[in-house]
Amino acid sequence: MMRILVLGAGAIGGYFGGLLLHSGADVTFLVRRRRRNLLKKNGLVIHTPDQDYDIAVADHLVEQVDEPYDLVILSCKAYDLEEAIKAITPAVGPDTHVLPLLNGLRHYDVLDETFGAEKILGGLAKNICTMQKDGSIRSWSRPGNVTFGPRSEEQLDFCRQLEELLLRAPISVTHSSHITSALWDKFCLITVLGAINCLLRGSIGDIMATRNGRDIALAIIDECAGTAKAAGYPLSEASLDYLQSSMTREGSDYTSSMFRDMELGKSVEADQLVGDMLIRAEDAGLSTPFLKAAYCTLQTYMLRREKS
Ligand SMILES: NC(=O)C1=CN([C@@H]2O[C@H](COP(=O)(O)OP(=O)(O)OC[C@H]3O[C@@H](n4cnc5c(N)ncnc54)[C@H](OP(=O)(O)O)[C@@H]3O)[C@@H](O)[C@H]2O)C=CC1
Ligand SMILES: CC(C)(CO)C(=O)C(=O)O
C-alpha cells in the first residue's frame, strides 16, 4: 500500500489527510508538538455540510521522520515552506513524490531546486475550510476537491496509482493532464479573490453593495488574466466567465482563506499570492494599479502586525 506522509494537519492537510485515512489509506501526519497534543486529546474532527467525521489519529502522528515515504502531501502555509522542507527532507527518498497543495506558484521553484523537479507533482486544493480553535476542521465545500497531475511524462504512472487511491476517499478528485494551466487558473482565482477581499475589506457580497465595488473587482480580474496570458497560460473562456460571475455576485459570502486569516489577525500569504502576481505583471510590462494597492494594503497589515 502507498505510504503517505501529510505535513501539517491544518485546514487542508487535516481535511484531505483525515478523509484519506478514513477511507483506509496508510496516512501519517507530520505535526508540531502543540498540534500533536491537541489531536491526541480531541482526535481529528472534520465537520462538512453533509456529515461529521471523528477520525482516530493518535497512532498516525509523528513530530519527525527518519525514513522515505511513497508520497508526501505538503499542506503548510507558504510562509512556513522553508521549515516544512527541512522537516520532510528525510521522508523524500529516490522514489518519493511530493504533492504540494499550497496556493500560489512560487513554491514549485523552491521544491524543484531542493528535491528535483521529477519528484514534484502539480497539485492544488479547492476547499473552503478552516481550522477552528478546538483543532477541528470545518469545511463548507460539498466536498473539497484535489486537482493534481503530472508535470512530466515520467510522473504519469504514479499519478494513475494516486488517482485510484484518492477516489476511495469521500472527496472530489480531478486528475488533470494540463496541471500547469490548472495551477495558473487557481493562482488567478485566489489572487483575485484575496485582492478584492483584503483591499476592500469584505466578502464579495459586502463589496458588491458599494458604488464602485463591481468595477474594481472586474479591473482586478483583468489585471490577473492579463498576467496569466503574458506568462503563456491564458485563462479559458469558462474560467474567465466563472471569475467574472463569482466575483461580482450580489449577496455572496465568498471570502478567501487569506482574508479570513487577516480578519483573525494572523499572518497572510501576501508575498506568495498578490505580491507574486504583481511581480510577474511588472516583469511582463503590464500596468496593475489595483494589485499594487492590494499588495500595499497587505504589506501595511503585516508590518503593523509585526510591530504589535
Ligand atoms: N483553507 C482553505 O480554505 C484553503 C487553503 N489553501 C491553501 O492551502 C495551504 C494551507 O492552508 P491551510 O490548511 O488553510 O492552513 P492552516 O494554517 O490551517 O494549516 C497549515 C498547517 O501546517 C502546519 N505546519 C506548518 N509548518 C509545519 C512544520 N514545519 N511541521 C509541521 N506542521 C507544519 C501548521 O502547524 P501548526 O498548527 O503547528 O502551526 C498548520 O497546522 C495554504 O497555501 C492555503 O493558501 C488552498 C485552498 C483552500
Ligand atoms: C479558492 C478558495 C477560496 C477555496 O478553494 C481558496 O483557495 C482559499 O480560500 O484559499
Among protein residues, the one with the nearest Cα to ligand 2's atom 3 is 256
Active-site choice (41, 186, 266, 292):
186
Contact (CB, 8 A) for 112 and 86: no
Q: How far is the CA of 10 from the centre of ligand 1 (A)?
A: 5
Same domain assignment for residues 229 and 247: yes
The half-sphere exposure of 238 on its side-chain side, counting CA atoms within 13 A, is: 1
Same domain assignment for residues 299 and 240: yes
Domain CATH for 269: 1.10.1040.10
Q: How far is the CA of 129 from the centre of ligand 2 (A)?
A: 8
Same domain assignment for residues 49 and 162: yes
CA dihedral (206, 188, 178, 85) positive or negative: negative
Instruction: ipTM value, please give it.
Output: 0.98
Domain CATH for 134: 3.40.50.720
Task: Indicate if ligand 1 lies below 6 Å from the C-beta of 268.
Answer: no
Mutational pocket test of ligand 1: of 76, 80, 126, the residue with most ligand atoms within 8 Å of the beta carbon = 76
The ligand placed nearest to the CA atom of residue 189 is 2
Same domain assignment for residues 162 and 186: no
Same domain assignment for residues 104 and 188: no
Confidence (pLDDT) at 21? 98
Write down which residue in 177, 196, 226 finishes a domain.
177
Q: How far is the CA of 213 from the centre of ligand 1 (A)?
A: 30
Paired sense of beta strands 122-126 and 145-149, if any:
antiparallel
Confidence (pLDDT) at 308? 84
Domain coverage including residue 23: 3-177
The ligand placed nearest to the CA atom of residue 247 is 2
Write down which residue in 150, 177, 204 finishes a domain.
177
Write down which residue in 159, 177, 195 finishes a domain.
177
Same domain assignment for residues 96 and 200: no
Same domain assignment for residues 185 and 173: no
Same domain assignment for residues 129 and 21: yes
- Closest ligand 1 atom to residue 84 Cα is 29
**Known active-site residue 186:** yes
Contact (CB, 8 A) for 248 and 217: yes
Same domain assignment for residues 91 and 13: yes
Same domain assignment for residues 297 and 226: yes
Q: How far is the CA of 80 from the centre of ligand 1 (A)?
A: 8
The ligand placed nearest to the CA atom of residue 91 is 1
Which residue type is seen at 52? D
Task: Indicate if ligand 1 lies below 6 Å from the C-beta of 270.
Answer: no
Task: Indicate if ligand 1 lies below 6 Å from the C-beta of 32.
Answer: yes
Confidence (pLDDT) at 48? 97
Contact (CB, 8 A) for 105 and 165: no
Domain count, the chain: 2
Same domain assignment for residues 114 and 235: no
- Closest ligand 2 atom to residue 189 Cα is 1
Per-run averaged pLDDT (10 residues), the chain, 308 residues: 97 98 98 96 96 96 97 97 98 98 98 98 96 94 97 98 98 97 97 98 98 98 98 97 98 95 96 98 98 98 94
Same domain assignment for residues 213 and 237: yes
Supply the pTM of this predicted model: 0.96
Q: How far is the CA of 230 from the centre of ligand 1 (A)?
A: 30
